[in-house]
Amino acid sequence: MFVPMHLQIPSPVDALTDPLFDQKKIQVFVKRDDLIHPIISGNKWRKLKYLLQKASQNNQKTILTYGGAYSNHLLATAEACRLLGFNAVGIVRGEEQENHTLNYCRAAGMQLIFVTRSEYKDKESCLKHYVPKPDEHIVVLPEGGATPEGFAGCKEILAECAQKFDHIFCAAGTGTTAAGLYAYIKENDLKSTLNVVPVLKEGAFIRKEIERYLPTDEKVQVHTQYHGGGYGKTNSELVQFIVRFYQKHRILLDQVYTAKMMYGLYQLVEQDYFTPNSSILAIHTGGLYGLLSIGDKLSAIDPHFTQILRSLEPK
Ligand SMILES: *Cc1c(COP(=O)(O)O)cnc(C)c1O
């Protein structure tokens, strides 16, 4: 597709070194989808790619989508629309407010419409309210970019990896990324187990979400105990983990998704979940811009974070 922006695709795979991994005789790698683009990062580009391509081919000019006040999907959509020349409309859950994510969306030219939590639940009526007549020039994307096109884009993550892994790890919100990863594993007869870390409470539902796309079996393991208090919730242990992980590996993790996945992975390593000689690939699905909202907490633990987080702000 014609993309007037630099995207680092294929994204690199980095090996993590840690005495713990040596002790347990395992190897851990990270697929750095966080490096795809500073704002349209991780799985959000994977999920938008075919949708925006289709919209462009159909000459559709406006992309309308939904998200919470800290939504990486809104942020990525706003920036992609700015760079690709689409109009963008974001329907945002909750009261009008300012934060790094929403400010960026506004600056990128996205029109934000705030609706109450109860209004937000009924996406159809939100839409009718703001777009009274069906308009073929408007593309409506569901929350989180959860679509068959998004699923297709996420299949491409593992297609970029030449090496084979015993375990793949990903964080899950809607499960679209997990479904794409698992579809690639199945279609290519890989022996990898897919380990899914839901970031919401009571995350067992994520298997049903994956099964909207394809059947699952014991090769999909859902680890429901690492949600850290629920969606968007953090605790001091998780914040500490983000700082220590960065100090050790020079890789940032976001508090909503990837830190929960990586924390879970470390817990499982310590519990001898993996047999010796296992190789593990964790998908870094990006979302780092959201770290700005906990900048104070990170800098309180390690003052270097003031500078480190500055690098997330676009030049
Ligand atoms: C949106 C998001 C996810 C969740 O992806 P799903 O496909 O909805 O499960 C994971 N990680 C990051 C960083 C995200 O922004």
**Rounded to whole angstroms, how far apart are CA atoms 251 and 235?**
20
What's the pLDDT tens digit per position in 226-276? 999 999 999 999 999 999 999 999 999 999 999 999 999 999 999 999 999
- Whether residue 65 contacts residue 74, with contact meaning beta carbons closer than 8 Å, is answered with yes
Q: What pLDDT shows up at residue 125? A: 85
Q: Count other C-beta atoms under 10 Å from residue 159's C-beta.
A: 11
How far is ligand 1, taken at its centre, from the CA of residue 285, in Å? 6
Report which ligand 1 atom has the smallest distance to the Cα of 72.
15
* pLDDT one-digit tens code per residue, 174-191: 999 999 999 999 999 999
**For residue range 89-119, what is the model confidence (pLDDT) as tens digits?**
999 999 999 999 999 999 999 999 999 999 9
DSSP string, 93-142: ESS----HHHHHHHHTTPEEEEE-HHHHH-HHHHHHHHS-S--TTEEEE-
Dist. CA 170 → ligand 1 center (Å): 9
**Residue corresponding to tokens 């800290």:** 70
Mutate to test the pocket of ligand 1, among 168, 285, 288, 289 (most ligand atoms within 8 A of CB): 285
Measured CA to CA in angstroms, residue 23 lies from 18, 165, 207, 250, 278 at distances of: 9, 19, 32, 21, 12
**CA-closest candidate to residue 24, choices 280, 246, 296, 272:** 272
How far, rounded to the nearest angstrom, does the alpha carbon of residue 103 sit from its chain's CA centroid? 20
d(CA 144, CA 43): 10
Phi, psi of 228, deg, nearest 5: 60, 30
- Structure pTM? 0.96
Cβ of residue 257 lying under 6 Å from some atom of ligand 1: yes
Q: Which conformational region is residue 310 in: left (phi greater than 0), alpha (psi within -120 to 50 degrees), or beta? A: alpha
Residue 270: what pLDDT?
Answer: 98
Query: pLDDT confidence of 127, banded at 50, 70, 90?
Result: confident
Counting every residue, how long is the chain?
A: 315
Calculate how far, in angstroms, residue 74's C-alpha sits from the geometric centre of ligand 1. 12
| Distance between Cα 271 and ligand 1 center (Å) | 26
**All residues at 6 or more sequence positions from 304 whose CB lies less than 8 Å from its CB, including other chains:** none
Q: Does residue 153 have its Cβ closer than 6 Å to ligand 1? A: no
Cα 263 to its chain centre, rounded Å, is 16
**9 CA distance to ligand 1 middle (Å):** 18
CB-CB contact of 251 with 284 (8 Å): yes
How would you classify the pairing of strands 13-16 and 27-32?
antiparallel
Q: What is the position in ligand 1's atom list of the atom closest to the CA of 254?
A: 13
- The pLDDT tens digits of the residues spanning 128-151 come to 888 878 888 999 999 888 899 999
CA–centroid distance, residue 203 to ligand 1 (Å): 14
5: its two tokens: 């922006």
- Ligand 1 site, residue 172, Cβ cutoff 6 A: yes
d(CA 166, CA 144) in angstroms, rounded, equals 28
* Distance between Cα 172 and ligand 1 center (Å): 6
Q: Could you tell me what percentage of the chain is helix, strand and coil, using 3-state DSSP and rounding each to the nearest 5? A: 45, 15, 40
Q: How far apart are CA 189 and CA 186, in angstroms?
A: 5
**Whether 285 contacts 170, CB under 8 Å:** yes
Provide mean pLDDT across the span 152-172: 97
Q: Is the CB of 198 under 6 A from ligand 1?
A: no
Give yes or no for residue 193 CB within 6 A of ligand 1. no
Ligand 1 pocket test: which of 39, 48, 177, 231 has the largest number of ligand atoms within 8 Å of its C-beta?
177
70 lines ligand 1 (CB under 6 A): no
Residue 41 near ligand 1, beta carbon < 6 Å: no
Residue 2: the pLDDT is 57
